[in-house]
Amino acid sequence: MALIIKSGDAKAFADWKIHFSEFAPGLDVHFWEDPDVDPASIHYAMVWDPEPGRLAKFPNLKLISSSAAGVDNIMRDPHLPKHLPVVRVTTTDTAQRMGDYVCWAALTAMRRIPEILVAQTTCGWDSSMTGESAPETRVGVMGLGAMGSRAAEMLALLGFQTAGWSGSPKSIPGVESYAGPGVFDAFLARTDILVCLLPLTPDTKAIIRAETIAKLPRGACIVNAGRGGHVVNADLIAALDRGHLKSAVLDVFDPEPLPKDSPFWAHPKVIVTPHIASFGSRRVRARHVANVLAAFERGDPLPGLYDPVRGY
Ligand code: NDP
């Protein structure tokens, strides 16, 4: 069996190859850019943001894996062979890293760190900038999948009043469950810090826009670690500038890397992180993908299988 990899440059590929040799020693592993690879010899692809049309050129492909947790970078290919299973990486390591990030971001927003960092640039000492405490702060997590459920669980353990919004109801200790579009407004109205951990789908694209932001209480904060396409940038900046929103912690953008002329870079109420919220090590992801391929060969259920009906 042979796997072709598009995830990083040639140096990254060398690293992937070492890890796959550890976890799937019988697998032939090839670099996406290798001109000598016969497309007919490839059975599996592990990719991030493949050029549209390229996956359709492997006639014997049996399965496509994202090299990370999102599959939107694969699904946007109009020529994607629709009959193939597509899986994403879901590991306890990536969920934990996301939980770490979201807890940091929520504490950062709650303790007014963006304002404190601005004050520091002018040696400004204002001991009234204490912020709130977690039990006084209502966090709402949009998306309670592998990432969001761990993040919500960890927020609740920190003492935040935590709620989550998802398609179907969830039972997570300490987390109030809101499910479906009918309760979205009520979820927003009780949320001081809105965390986005949704997948990017036609239903969730631009979900953080003026209309949504207006339903949050004045002084709310946004944490986006889902996808850049979830946010209407101009609406977010307008809400920050007029004070309806206090701050935003943003990890994902459209496009990435965030262009140098983006107003987010220098905005005093925004903290930008470079899509690092949850990036599992190559070794952990290779082990996961090797296990998925083995499960596929055995005919077992596949973790993180994309569902074309749900769209994620
Ligand atoms: P999952 O597919 O496990 O979970 C998705 C969640 O979103 C589910 O709870 C689902 O509801 C909910 N959801 C989807 N559509 C809707 C909708 N229209 N209305 C309400 N709820 C909806 O995804 P993951 O948790 O693994 O990942 C989520 C996203 O996080 C990824 O798609 C990616 O964009 C982002 N991500 C970002 C990373 C980063 O480093 N910044 C790293 C990893 C992921 P239900 O439970 O009912 O199905």
Nearest to 280 by CA among 101, 102, 104, 69: 69
Q: What is the mean pLDDT of residues 119-140?
A: 97
Mutate which of 66, 87, 166 for ligand 1? The one with the most ligand atoms within 8 Å of its CB, which is: 166
- Whether 227 is catalytic is yes
pLDDT, residue 102, reads: 99
Catalytic entry in 88, 227, 267, 282: 227
Catalytic site includes residue 244: no
Ligand 1-lining residues (CB < 6 angstroms): 69-70, 90, 94, 98, 143-148, 165-168, 197-201, 203-204, 225-227, 251-252, 275, 277-279, 312
Closest alpha carbon to 45 in 7, 94, 83: 7
| 80 & 161 share domain | no
What is the dihedral angle through the alpha carbons of 169, 289, 88, 254, rounded to the nearest 10 degrees? 140
Nearest to 273 by CA among 114, 141, 150, 144: 114
88 Cα nearest atom in ligand 1 = 26
Residue 304 lies in a domain: no
Query: Are 99 and 223 within one domain?
Result: yes
Q: Which two tokens stand for residue 272?
A: 């930008």
The predicted-structure confidence for 161-180, as pLDDT tens digits, reads as follows 999 999 999 999 999 999 99
Structural domain of residue 18, as residue ranges? Answer: 2-91+280-298
Does any domain span residue 146? yes
Q: In this structure, are 209 and 181 located in the same domain?
A: yes
**Ligand 1 atom closest to residue 311's alpha carbon, by position in its atom list:** 15
Q: Report if residue 130 sits inside a domain.
A: yes
pLDDT tens-digit map of 30-63: 999 999 999 999 999 999 999 999 999 999 999 9
Which residue shows structure tokens 């469950």? Answer: 177
Q: Does residue 311 sit within a domain?
A: no
| DSSP result, 245-288 | EEEEEE---SSSSPPTT-TTTT-TTEEE--S-TT---HHHHHHH
pLDDT, tens digit (0-9, with 9 covering 90-100), for 192-250: 999 999 999 999 999 999 999 999 999 999 999 999 999 999 999 999 999 999 999 99
**Do 256 and 124 fall within a single domain?**
yes
Residue-level pLDDT at 10: 97
CA–CA separation, 199 and 140 (whole Å)? 16
Q: Are residues 248 and 117 in the same domain?
A: yes
Atom of ligand 1 nearest to the CA of 144: 9
**Are 131 and 209 within one domain?**
yes
Catalytic position from the list 112, 275, 282, 287: 275
Per the domain annotation, does 306 fall within a domain?
no
Average pLDDT score over residue span 139-159: 98
Q: What is the pLDDT of residues 98-114, one digit of tens each?
A: 999 999 999 999 999 99
70 CA distance to ligand 1 middle (Å)? 8
Give me the number of domains the chain comprises: 2
Q: Which of 48, 76, 198 to mutate to test the pocket of ligand 1 (most atoms within 8 A of CB)?
A: 198
Instruction: For residue 69, name the pLDDT band (cuts at 50, 70, 90).
Output: very high
- Nearest ligand 1 atom, CA 198: 7
What is the Cα–Cα distance from 254 to 200, expressed in whole angstroms? Answer: 12
Q: Kind and range of the H or E element at 74?
A: helix 72-75
CA of 78 to the centre of ligand 1 (A): 22
Structural contact between residues 3 and 286, judged by C-beta atoms closer than 8 angstroms: no
Please write the tens of the pLDDT for every residue from 233-292.
Answer: 999 999 999 999 999 999 999 999 999 999 999 999 999 999 999 988 999 999 999 999
Q: How many Å from the N-terminal Cα to the C-terminal Cα in the chain?
A: 27
Q: Is residue 294 a part of any domain in this protein?
A: yes
The pLDDT value given to residue 198? 98
| CATH code assigned at 148 | 3.40.50.720
- What is the pLDDT confidence band of residue 81, given thresholds at 50, 70 and 90? very high
Statement to judge: residues 144 and 249 lie in one domain? yes
Mean pLDDT in residue range 20-26: 98
